[in-house]
Amino acid sequence: MEGDQRSGPPAQSLLPDGHLVLWTLCSVLMPVLITLWCSLQRSRRQLHRRDIFRKSKHCWRDTDLFSHPTYCCVCAQHILQGAFCDCCGLRVDEGCLKKVDKRFPCKEIMLKNDKAADAMPHHWIRGNVPLCSYCVICRQQCGSQPKLCDYRCIWCQTTVHDECMRSSLKSEKCDFGEFRNLIIPPSYLTSINQMRKDKNTNYEVVFDVTKTPPLKALQLCTLLPYRSVRVLVCGGDGTVGWVLDAIDEMKIKGQEQYIPEVAVLPLGTGNDLSNTLGWGTGYAGEIPVAQVLRNVMEADGIKLDRWKVQVTNKGYYNLRKPKEFTMNNYFSVGPDALMALNFHAHREKAPSLFSSRILNKAVYLFYGTKDCLVQECKDLNKKIELELDGERVELPNLEGIIVLNIGYWGGGCRLWEGMGDETYPLARHDDGLLEIVGVYGSFHCAQIQVKLANPFRIGQAHTVRLTLKCSMMPMQVDGEPWAQGPCTVTITHKTHALMLYFSGEQSDDDISSPSDHEDVKEAE
């Protein structure tokens, strides 16, 4: 009895402890299970959405948050997240994605054979018209009501009220509007396809250069009239060079007469080529897209020199082919190439951290400041021999040499002209001449960029030969850096590119005539 009574209380005390363990396990496992279930559902939704995108004729892009009040074209409800079509502009809630293809066809890049080529109708999309749009009939503002209302033609961008549409525009034909000279009519591609013997090419797709090389997209130029194509490249100087390389391949294929003229919308970090051609130092949406297209139509055609940079490594047993680059902007050896090399190495490790133009420039500033203390490129004149048009040039105690093809360098600095009372001829990008300058270090580069100093001007030449006799040195061509051992670098003229120069707006650093400033004021 006594033994039983003594053993009773411990057995009873285990029950509360067991409940405590059970509730602890539940409190830990439940959030984990809920998180796993949500992740599974999210993955299923993403797979389901991708399957719909793959089968759809629309070019869908999903978004977690629309930038302005948006309404679903199917259910007419206000939506915060969903998808939009890059091609026709439809906006739809995720739950309505299955229905949208049945109700709303995407715009046709090429008309079907059974449609009349000379009777191009408007392609109306209801709702979500651009801000500050006005009805083509009554001239009153469209899209001002907080609901899905009013129409926009995705070809000519005409907007019209619901009431005006019913009374006036049901049977009107589309004339492609203000930008008709920049639009390839679907009827034109239909006619071309009927005339061609090889009809296997599919012109009904929209090219995405992140998935398709630009050369394939540029083949559309061969279907259009001679010298009639203008291409707008949205990106940095590297993206422009990528497109110009594809255009050079068109020359190799004998398609010289179809080569387009190239304009630039500057979205990179430096944008020196864009600045040289009058397109500015950067674009952040401050100019409406319609005005950008007007600028492209008004721009003048010019030529841009392109240069071949050949790097031949030294050594008796070196059997590798020389490396070849195509230069549009500049070649350099020294501190600015070192900054580009350090920046490139860190961007390769964490590319997501280098998506901001301001952050990128801050990183360049950090490495420039570091090199001011370390001076990794000192005594360059003892390591390098320089020849301009076959003549040897004696160098002072430099840390860097920059070979320029265009007027701007380092994110907006006119390096060759400099500042002060010294008179030097303007650098041109179409005269077959290169400008060669030297810098005394990273601190000197910084002084040049803030207009407190001038570079050491070495000269101009049609051909540049640079021999690195010993050690490793950083080099770069148009922002593509590498570490280079003993070698010979030869720069010769390669070809011309057809570019578009816009003179309507100029930067503060640009050198222009008074008449240019008057034109800008009148335009404003």
What is 311-326 written as a DSSP string?
A: EEE--TT--SPPEEEE
Residue 504 is classified by DSSP as: S
- Residue pair 295/308 in contact (Cβ under 8 Å)? The answer is no
Please give the backbone phi and psi of residue 189, each rounded to the nearest 5 degrees, phi first: -65, -30
> Number of helices and strands (H, E) in the chain?
13, 24
- The fold adopted by the segment(s) 187-301 is Rossmann fold (3.40.50)
Q: H helices within 231-318, ranges in order?
A: 237-252, 272-276, 289-298
- Residue pair 500/302 in contact (Cβ under 8 Å)? The answer is yes
- What is the model's pLDDT at position 524? 32
pLDDT tens digits for range 7-20: 555 555 545 677 77
Residues 6+ apart with CB under 8 A from 22: none
- In our burial notation (b when 16+ CB lie closer than 10 A, e otherwise), range 83-93 reads bbbebbbbbbb
Spatial strand order in the sheet of 151-153: 124-126, 151-153, 159-160
pLDDT tens digits for range 246-275: 999 999 988 888 999 999 999 887 799 999
- What is the model's pLDDT at position 426? 78
Of 436, 453, 175, the closest CA to residue 331 belongs to 436
Is the CA virtual torsion 335, 339, 341, 342 positive or negative? positive
| CATH architecture observed for domain 306-497 | Sandwich (2.60)
- What is the model's pLDDT at position 175? 87
Q: H helices within 137-184, ranges in order?
A: 162-168
Question: Cα separation of 208 and 477, whole Å?
Answer: 27
- What is the model's pLDDT at position 520? 31
How far CA 184 is from CA of 178, 204, 250, in Å, comes to 13, 12, 20
- What is the model's pLDDT at position 384? 92
How far CA 317 is from CA of 312, 320, 469, 507, in Å, comes to 12, 9, 17, 51
pLDDT tens digits for range 129-155: 988 889 998 999 998 888 999 999 999
How far CA 511 is from CA of 41, 414, 434, 522, in Å, comes to 59, 9, 19, 19
Q: Domain ranges in the chain?
A: 187-301, 306-497
- What is the model's pLDDT at position 37? 84
**DSSP letters of 95-150?**
GGHHHHHHH-PPPPSS--TTS-TT--B--EEES-PPTT-BBTTT-PBSS-SSSS--
The reply to whether the predicted model has a pTM over 0.95 is no
**Residue 516 CB-density burial (10 A; 0-12 exposed, 13-18 middle, 19+ buried):** middle
**What residues of the chain score a pLDDT lower than 50?**
1-6, 14, 506-524
Residues 6+ apart with CB under 8 A from 353: 347, 359
Residues 6+ apart with CB under 8 A from 1: none
Of 275, 270, 283, 220, the closest CA to residue 246 belongs to 220
